[in-house]
Amino acid sequence: MPEFHVNDLKANTQGYARAYLFYIHFDSAPVNVTDAKTSYLVRSSSLPEGTIDPIEVPWQGQTYKFGSTHTIPEWSCSFNTDFEGTLRKEMLKWQKEVHNVADNTQGIPSVYFGEAKVELLDVKGSPVLTYTLKQIWPSSVGALDLSHDSKDVAQFDVSFQFNWYEVDGVH
């Protein structure tokens, strides 16, 4: 293992990844959330989490842990709202593709599944990490808070479920 010196950190001219340099876009969704405007309405999000659940096996008084299944929790985005409320309407339409509460019909997964890319960018705008979320759909479109005494941009959260993700460069 190479030696590490604090001077190596100080000499790093590239700097470090910045949390505010990211880009998110949706592909192959059943509604119109795939245009460029959607990417610019994203206020905040995260790179998705993944956890491997352990299996505990007792043997001769000891407990050994082995990896089992990969658990993928929901992924959330906060969106700013444009004057027409277009993105919110499209997210609600996408939810309706999953389950239409008016006539109690369930959607077809191959129709309502989409795909999303989450990219962490360097200071020049090039992707450093790219996650592709597969078979994604909105499970919750959050409230849009309204208030006479607020000057903030109206925003809402959307929670998504997805079945797996791929990370560019990780094979």
The angle formed by the CA atoms of residues 79, 101 and 34, to the nearest 5 degrees, is 35
**Structure confidence by residue, pLDDT tens digits, 54-98:** 999 999 999 999 999 988 899 999 999 988 888 899 899 999 999
More confident residue, 11 or 39: 39
Q: Phi and psi of 79, rounded to 5°?
A: -120, 140
Q: How many distinct structural domains can be found in the chain?
A: 1
pLDDT at 8: 63
More confident residue, 30 or 107: 107
DSSP run (H or E) holding 110: helix 109-112
pTM of the model: 0.83
> Of 127, 132, 140, whose CA–CA distance to 28 is shortest?
132
Burial of 170 by CB count in 10 Å (0-12 exposed, 13-18 middle, 19+ buried)? Answer: exposed
Kindly tell me the sign of the dihedral angle through the C-alpha atoms of 113, 85, 78, 122: positive
In a domain, 4, yes or no: no
Q: How far apart are CA 118 and CA 116, in angstroms?
A: 7
Alpha-carbon distance values, 134 to 32, 61, 78, 105, 128 (Å): 18, 42, 19, 23, 19
Looking at residue 80, which CATH number applies to its domain? 2.30.110
Q: How confident is the model at residue 42 (pLDDT cuts 50, 70, 90)?
A: confident
In a domain, 56, yes or no: no
Tokens describing residue 116: 């999303």
Tokens describing residue 129: 């990490």
CA 21 to chain centre: 15
In terms of residue numbers, what domain contains 149?
A: 22-50+63-167
| Bridge pairing between strands 51-59 and 155-161 | unpaired
1 pLDDT above the threshold of 60 = no
**Structure confidence by residue, pLDDT tens digits, 102-161:** 999 998 899 899 999 999 998 888 899 999 999 999 999 999 888 899 888 899 999 999
Instruction: Residue 156: count other Cβ atoms within 10 Å of its Cβ.
Output: 19
